[in-house]
């Protein structure tokens, strides 16, 4: 599952925020500490005479696992694809920057996590091919906000989106029933439609009658991050200036997270930690913000006891949690063929296949009418129509400026700030001041 590879807002989980994965990443073939690989015109061994294209990725990225490389090789007998995978994005990304700077050691195609895309478009675009000019690329097939993330201010598209993470709210039907709340996903969505404060009020209702020993939500940091992801502005403004201290959206997320903590509505858990995983198995909390890849994570951790107890409803306001891009370095030896491969891999038809096989939700809006997406249901979650639910969420995700330090800011707001409010009872004002000082120091402000 793709969930094992990232946690953009929480890659921070065990090491760096770009890795929404933590110690959970699955190993891949050709694992190494370097994101690049040799590229050349003649393969090796039985691939003599073929053009070998190397693809550098992090974690269990999904393209190989979904059989897309094999399919492309059948369609293009003169092409051989070799994947180079680094387990963790926090190791992959610094190495990729080093190779881009030197112009050597690069794969023909390089994956980029959404938490790093702003640094790529803002600082390194000259070293990447403009994929928007590649024959067969249809800008209109993609969600506008996703296309914009991979495009520089002067219009050069250096990354084509593979997937996104539109958010919903996963909830326990059994716990909602015991708390006297509706269990039908449409009715549940209506409880908090359009307003995160309604989500807070639903939590207060849950607390009155919910089963003893359970909480409404996993933790305050998750609530805060979900609110931040659903706003039009977060840590940077449209001009690329840092606004994390003054952003209304950042303050809204902070205040709501703190209100959840102070009202006793959280299980005081830190995401992607063993205690969080165990809480899924124990049924210790009733709701959690979830993008498509989270469904597989929940199934894995909750096990057979959680089957048909979980369901998915619309979030108060949709946001995005996760997603990646493919880019082609200018220093590559097979730029034209690499661009063709990227164009094919990110086309709507292939994105729909990736969702069907790996739960990576398409960034190409044109894929949403394909049967693999439109008709998709998840039996573990009560046959919820996940394709339709997340497609609707994707279309409502705001076009939000992202910056090169988004991950660092998210990490310290959560771990230095909100976690103290939630787990230690630190006053929100004191925790805010501590988080701001830590962020200022990290960013040399």
Mean pLDDT is lowest, of 75-79, 96-100, 227-231, 405-409, for: 405-409
pLDDT tier, 44 (very low <50, low <70, confident <90, very high otherwise): very low
Rounded to an integer, what is the distance from CA 338 to the centroid of its chain?
25
CB 164 within 8 A of CB 394: yes
Rounded to an integer, what is the distance from CA 38 to the centroid of its chain?
29
Q: Dump pLDDT digits (tens) for 57-113.
A: 998 899 999 999 999 999 999 999 999 999 889 899 999 999 999 999 999 999 999
pLDDT at 36: 64
User: Does the pLDDT value for residue 350 go beyond 60?
Assistant: yes
User: Does the pLDDT value for residue 48 go beyond 90?
Assistant: no
357-360 contact pairs (CB < 8 A, 24+)? 357/62, 357/65, 357/66, 357/67, 358/1, 358/2, 358/62, 358/65, 358/66, 359/1, 359/2, 359/3, 359/292, 359/293, 359/295, 359/296, 360/2, 360/62, 360/162, 360/163, 360/292, 360/293
pLDDT tier, 138 (very low <50, low <70, confident <90, very high otherwise): very high
Rounded to an integer, what is the distance from CA 12 to the centroid of its chain?
13
pLDDT at 87: 87
pLDDT tier, 320 (very low <50, low <70, confident <90, very high otherwise): very high
Distance (Å, whole) CA 356 – CA 323: 16
Higher pLDDT, 62 or 12: 62
pLDDT at 17: 31
Contacts of 306 (CB under 8 A, 6+ apart): 280, 281, 283, 298, 299, 380
Distance (Å, whole) CA 221 – CA 218: 9
What is the 8-class DSSP label of residue 445? -
Cα dist from 75 to 72, 138, 188, whole Å:
5, 20, 46
Contacts of 332 (CB under 8 A, 6+ apart): 39, 106, 107, 108, 338
pLDDT at 399: 85
- 3-class DSSP assignment, residue 171: strand
pLDDT at 32: 54
Question: What domains appear along the chain, each with residue ranges and CATH number?
Answer: 26-165+324-378 (3.40.190.10), 168-320+400-443 (3.40.190.10)
Instruction: List, as one string, the DSSP characters of 257-324.
Output: HHHHHHTT-B--PPTTSHHHHHHHHHT-EEEEEE-HHHHHHHHHHH-GGGTTTEEEEE-SS--EEEEE
Give mean pLDDT, residues 388-397.
Answer: 95
Higher pLDDT, 399 or 362: 362
Q: Note the pTM of the prediction, 2 decimals.
A: 0.85
Mean pLDDT, the chain, integer:
90
Percentage of the chain lying above the pLDDT 70 cut? 89
- 3-class DSSP assignment, residue 219: coil
């Amino acid at each position: 599952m793709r969930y094992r590879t990232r946690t953009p807002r929480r890659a921070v989980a065990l090491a760096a925020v770009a890795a929404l994965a933590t110690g959970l990443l699955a190993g891949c073939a050709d694992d190494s500490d370097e994101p690049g690989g040799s590229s050349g015109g003649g393969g090796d061994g039985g691939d003599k005479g073929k053009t070998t294209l190397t693809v550098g990725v992090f974690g269990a990225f999904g393209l190989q696992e979904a059989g897309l490389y094999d399919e492309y090789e059948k369609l293009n007998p003169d092409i051989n694809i070799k994947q180079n995978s680094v387990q963790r994005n926090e190791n992959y990304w610094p190495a990729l920057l080093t190779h881009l700077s030197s112009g050597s050691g690069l794969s023909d195609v390089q994956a980029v996590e959404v938490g790093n895309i702003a640094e790529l478009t803002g600082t390194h675009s000259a070293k990447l091919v403009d994929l928007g000019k590649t024959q067969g690329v249809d800008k209109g097939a993609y969600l506008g906000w996703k296309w914009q993330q991979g495009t520089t201010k002067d219009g050069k598209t250096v990354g084509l989106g593979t997937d996104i993470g539109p958010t919903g709210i996963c909830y326990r039907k059994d716990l909602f029933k015991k708390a006297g709340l509706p269990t039908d996903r449409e009715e549940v969505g209506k409880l908090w439609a359009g307003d995160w404060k309604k989500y807070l009020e639903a939590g207060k209702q849950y607390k009155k009658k919910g089963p003893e020993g359970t909480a409404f939500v996993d933790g305050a940091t998750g609530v805060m991050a979900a609110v931040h992801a659903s706003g039009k502005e977060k840590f940077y403004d449209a001009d690329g200036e840092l606004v994390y201290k003054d952003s209304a959206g950042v303050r809204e997320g902070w205040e709501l997270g703190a209100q959840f903590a102070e009202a006793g509505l959280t299980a005081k858990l830190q995401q992607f930690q063993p205690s969080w995983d165990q809480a899924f198995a124990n049924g210790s909390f009733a709701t959690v913000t979830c993008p498509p890849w989270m469904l597989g994570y929940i199934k894995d951790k909750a096990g057979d006891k959680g089957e048909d107890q979980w369901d998915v409803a619309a979030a108060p306001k949709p946001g995005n949690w996760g997603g990646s891009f493919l880019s082609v370095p200018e220093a590559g030896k097979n730029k034209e063929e690499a661009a063709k491969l990227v164009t094919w891999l990110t086309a709507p038809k292939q994105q729909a296949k990736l969702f069907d096989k790996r739960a990576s939700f398409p960034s190409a809006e044109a894929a949403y009418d394909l049967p693999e997406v439109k008709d998709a249901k998840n039996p573990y979650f009560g046959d919820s129509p996940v394709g339709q639910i997340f497609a609707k969420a994707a279309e409502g995700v705001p076009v939000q400026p992202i910056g090169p330090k988004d991950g660092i800011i998210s990490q310290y707001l959560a771990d230095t700030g909100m976690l103290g409010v939630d787990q230690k009872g630190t006053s929100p004002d004191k925790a805010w001041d501590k988080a701001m000082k830590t962020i200022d120091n990290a960013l040399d402000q």
